[in-house]
Structure 1
Amino acid sequence: MSTTLNNTLLLQLSDTHIREPGRLAYGRIDTAPFLAQAVASIGRLPQAPDAVVITGDLTDFGRAAEYAHLRALLAPLPMPVYLLPGNHDSRAQLRASFADHAYLGEGGDEDFIQYSVPVGGLQLIALDTVVPGASEGRLCTARLQWLDAELTRHARRPVVIALHHPPFRTLIGHMDDIGLREGAEALEAIVARHPQVERLICGHLHRAIQVRFGGTVAATVPSPAHQVRLDLASDAASAWMLEPPGFALHALPQGGRLVSHMAASGQYPGPFPFHDGGQLID
């Protein structure tokens, strides 16, 4: 791989929904080969990311065998991998299955998984939105106070906040019904007080969506497997599609602003030069 001087690269995966080997999600899709494809795509990037963060729904049911399968699929990645639970996950089993990931902390299903770690020139702050046993998310006072304190500690450092449930309406009705049901306004007020927040990066939606939020940008990313159907009707059916999978690469140049790229997962023809025998083609 080539290097890019003074750029910090944070790669975001989300909603991998891994099941036990050979088991199909929703009875139709084997998500494991899609994650393996994404891992291979990361390995082919011209510049290696400094770290990978996965913003939730790591597994489908939070089972030990699912996390073991996830661990095996992620093993080829040579850079640090930071995990965040989604509504399909078990905090306790995630900690048990990735016991060597000290940033996950200790505790059971009722104990939040929140952490703040340096990644190159930025600070990655993971915020837990999970409500055990529920599909929707919430941010209580304790979680928000922790975030505010971390942002104060890193007031002079560019920050990326990672969370599973997006803190905004997406207009995909059935997903907004199980979105962040509490704490979004308080979160936005906190973010607005801390101008060093470059981005809020979220999962849950299985699509690329962006919105202004607290003076910065909040965004979701595609899944490396299946995508939520794009249907903005208020009564749209809950459904998924086998649209092209993807991930995000967030790049922070030294002294600059975060630039986010959405990338397709998989291998495609190219790259080809924009010329033919030295002549530009119009």
Structure 2
Amino acid sequence: MLIAQISDPHLRPPGILYQGLVDSNAMFDAAVRHLNALDPAPDLVLLSGDLVDEGTAEEYAAARQALSAIRKPLLAIPGNHDHRERFRCCFRDRGYLPSEGPLHFAQGAFGPVRILGLDITVPGEHHGDMTDEACAWLAARLAEEPSRPTLVMMHQPPVESGIPYIDKYNCRGGERLADIIARYPNVERILCGHIHRAMQCRFAGTMLATAPSTTTAIALRLSPDAAPGSFLEPPALLLHQWKEGRGLITHVSPIGAFSGPWPFF
């Protein structure tokens, strides 16, 4: 099973630039063209939050148009820049999100790997939180199929990246999440966005990976007193390939036109 993960497009209304500087909509369109050209094509596309930038109805109208070009099934969760109810409305015809409450979902119809989407957003805030409700939902869903390969997708990572100005807004209650995940060795990955960079680490007996943004990259500044910043680095997405007997392997797939292929390796 091949699963593509895109993240943090921060879509704006038509004609409006992200942060007044970057055409995030055009960059997302390029990411979709890249997705659609992958060979082999992914079985499923995941979007790990911050679909839009300000949570407005106009942004979600633009998002629906942009997402309609993706040829494969899409599962998405909200991020801290999303508006929960407008996000729900944006995906109302896809049939996988609940009609009320947090936007958690469990989907296993697309192949051998089951996807659990965990909505840890806190309306009006930029950090995430493993609330009692989120912990209970996740524990119950994992208990349903304790042997099936599973991915857990959430927006803010429950760990520190080392980038001080983004770590202020990670997912709180990470130790509560770790207690649950550690009981289930079938969890192949925890997939996050939010960092606008590719990052990986061990977490609760599994691996955690964050996807790059399809727009700007948060500056990789690891000094405790580093000033916030972003760069227009080459965007990318993640490809997660699962095979029986091997498990999951994750690749970074840069988006853009590059020289090659050359006849050597």
Q: TM-score range by the shorter chain?
A: over 0.9
Q: Give the aligned partner of residue 158 of structure 1.
A: 149
SS at match of 1:41: helix
Distance in 2 between the 1:155 and 1:71 partners? 35
Aligned partner (choices 98, 103, 117) of residue 91 of structure 2: 98
Distance in 1 between the 2:170 and 2:5 partners? 20
User: TM-score scaled to structure 2, two decimals?
Assistant: 0.97
The alpha carbon displacement at 1:269 in A equals 2.5
SS at match of 2:92: coil
Q: How does 1:26-175 map to 2 (within 5 A)?
A: 26-107=19-100, 111-118=101-108, 119-175=110-166
Q: Give the aligned partner of residue 203 of structure 1.
A: 193
The alpha carbon displacement at 1:272 in A equals 2.5
Aligned partner (choices 242, 249, 259) of residue 252 of structure 1: 242
The answer (yes or no) to whether the contact 1:41–1:267 under 8 Å persists in 2 is no
Q: Deviations over 1:158-179 (max 9, x none)?
A: 0000000001111100101111
The alpha carbon displacement at 1:254 in A equals 2.3
Q: Give the aligned partner of residue 186 of structure 1.
A: 176
Distance in 2 between the 1:98 and 1:41 partners? 22
The alpha carbon displacement at 1:39 in A equals 0.7
The alpha carbon displacement at 1:87 in A equals 0.3
The alpha carbon displacement at 1:256 in A equals 2.4
Distance in 2 between the 1:198 and 1:156 partners? 11
Structure 2: 5+ residue stretches without partners = none
Distance in 1 between the 2:187 and 2:5 partners? 17
User: TM-score scaled to structure 1, two decimals?
Assistant: 0.91
Distance in 1 between the 2:99 and 2:65 partners? 22
The alpha carbon displacement at 1:76 in A equals 1.8
> Alpha carbon RMSD of aligned pairs, Å?
1.1
The answer (yes or no) to whether the contact 2:36–2:71 under 8 Å persists in 1 is no
Structure 1: 5+ residue stretches without partners = 1-7, 276-282
